[in-house]
Amino acid sequence: MTYDVQSIRQDFPILGRRVYDKPLVYFDNGATTQKPRCVVDAMTEEYYNVNANVHRGVHFLSQRATDLHEQSRETVRRFLNARSTTEIIFTRGTTESINLVTSCFGEGCMQEGDEVIVSQMEHHSNIVSWQLLQARKGIVIKVIPISDEGELLMEEYEKLFTEKTRIVSVTHVSNVLGTVNPAKDIVRIAHEHGVPILIDGAQSTPHFKVDVQDLDCDFYAFSGHKIYGPTGIGVLYGKEAWLDRIPPYMGGGEMIRTVSFEKTTFNDLPYKFEAGTPDYVATTGLAKALEYVTHLGMEHIEAHERELTRYALEQMRQIEGMHIYGHASDGGDAVISFNVGHIHHLDLGTLLDRLGIAIRTGHHCAEPLIHRLGIEGTCRASFGLYNTKEEVDLLCQGIERVRKMF
Ligand code: PMP
């Protein structure tokens, strides 16, 4: 299949709109992606023709809605190549998936003084959730340092393990630098120390094929809205052995088998972790999005975005005063963080917006990383499967224009 980006763009109605009477250039895909028509249509169709609560009713609509919901779980299983749908838990997103692990693993498997290893390049969701556990239980957070080029120092990682290490929790891809961490090595080293590992896949799943069995990770988290699916839905993959071992997350309907005031027993996996009515329409939308990217081919999406990133780096590096963070080695993901001369990132972002170019500015929910880089923030252009070299040219022309104003 040839990758025809212009025809792919037709699937995303919003890309045709104008902003301040300029064609929209949407380079904030790291924050959230736009939705193809098939995702919105599938959700509309479910609301118009199927809607009923899942897993509860004996009636036609409830059974149809339940079928759709469980088929979506199977689509996620296939997408991640998980062994079984019992290992796929629906959550509200990466943040909730991580908090589920910190709460349940923290509750079931960690004591005061026990240690978690995270990295310097984590998103706040993978820092603050552990800090909350630290406040509750007195656990210790250890941090893998990074090089000036924004790569994990693997030999330092190995040195952090002690007999108190209980879990490792690191991101697959940095949402600021685009660094793709050597996830397989990180997992292997954790396992050599007999420690399970959670991987934050918020910025990996939209860009390249992820296979949880091949990675051999114990938990993997991602968000639907960053992979062309709806907001408010995400996934936690967990190996069955761990999910069986750790206590439930929230209490309520659906996660129980029997309830009495004396004793309550919990439901089978994955329902033990899914209290309350799930967002079953969003799971349909998520499944559509995963089918959409699978149909395009994750390998084609990856190749397209790698080429776009390579082109963008080449063009951007020609701009006077340009400072690009990370991307020291080839193979960085479709995220470029930069500053230009002494222009404040907020000013640059605001002026680019007036040209119809949407980028992100600030600390990108990764303040410890930004501090490590010795700066206050960056501009971030993050690409999606529908972006083009012409749009990169518009970005570079826009930056030049702003630069000349300062
Ligand atoms: N981790 C990373 C690496 C992210 O980029 C993000 C989103 N910026 C998150 C976690 C949190 O994702 P969400 O807001 O969808 O829960």
pLDDT above 90 (res 18):
yes
What tens digit of pLDDT does each residue of 22-31 get? 999 999 999 9
So what's the pLDDT on residue 334?
A: 96
Mean of pLDDT values over 209-223: 98
Q: Which residue's CA is the closest to the ligand 1 atom numbered 8?
A: 31
So what's the pLDDT on residue 51?
A: 97
pLDDT above 70 (res 332):
yes
The atom of ligand 1 lying closest to the CA of 96 is 16
pLDDT above 90 (res 331):
no
Mean of pLDDT values over 264-291: 97
Q: Would strands 234-238 and 256-258 be described as parallel, antiparallel, or unpaired?
A: unpaired
What tens digit of pLDDT does each residue of 70-110 get? 999 999 999 999 999 999 999 999 999 999 999 999 999 99
> Could you confirm whether domain 50-294 is CATH 3.40.640.10?
yes
Mean of pLDDT values over 166-177: 98
What tens digit of pLDDT does each residue of 271-282 get? 999 999 999 999
Q: Residue ranges per domain, the chain?
A: 5-28+297-405, 50-294
Q: In whole angstroms, what is the distance from residue 231 CA to residue 226 CA?
A: 8
Q: In whole angstroms, what is the distance from residue 349 CA to residue 361 CA?
A: 6
**Mean pLDDT taken over the chain:** 97
Q: How far is the CA of 175 from the centre of ligand 1 (A)?
A: 8
pLDDT above 80 (res 406):
yes
Residues above pLDDT 90, as percent of the chain: 97
pLDDT above 90 (res 181):
yes
Q: Which residue's CA is the closest to the ligand 1 atom numbered 4?
A: 202
Q: How far is the CA of 263 from the centre of ligand 1 (A)?
A: 37
The atom of ligand 1 lying closest to the CA of 226 is 15
The atom of ligand 1 lying closest to the CA of 364 is 8
pLDDT band at 57 (very low <50, low <70, confident <90, very high): confident
So what's the pLDDT on residue 299?
A: 98
So what's the pLDDT on residue 329?
A: 80
The answer to whether 365 is a known catalytic residue is yes
Which residue in 38, 365, 379, 396 is the catalytic one? Answer: 365
What tens digit of pLDDT does each residue of 242-265 get? 999 999 999 999 999 999 999 999
Whether pTM exceeds 0.95: yes
- 8 A C-beta contact, residue 20 and residue 356: yes
pLDDT above 70 (res 1):
no
The atom of ligand 1 lying closest to the CA of 234 is 15
pLDDT above 80 (res 114):
yes
pLDDT band at 321 (very low <50, low <70, confident <90, very high): very high
So what's the pLDDT on residue 352?
A: 98
Q: How far is the CA of 362 from the centre of ligand 1 (A)?
A: 15
The topology under which CATH files domain 5-28+297-405 is Aspartate Aminotransferase, domain 1 (3.90.1150)
So what's the pLDDT on residue 191?
A: 98
So what's the pLDDT on residue 227?
A: 98
**Residues contacting ligand 1 via CB (< 6 Å):** 93-95, 123, 125, 171, 175, 200, 202-203, 223, 365
Residues above pLDDT 70, as percent of the chain: 100
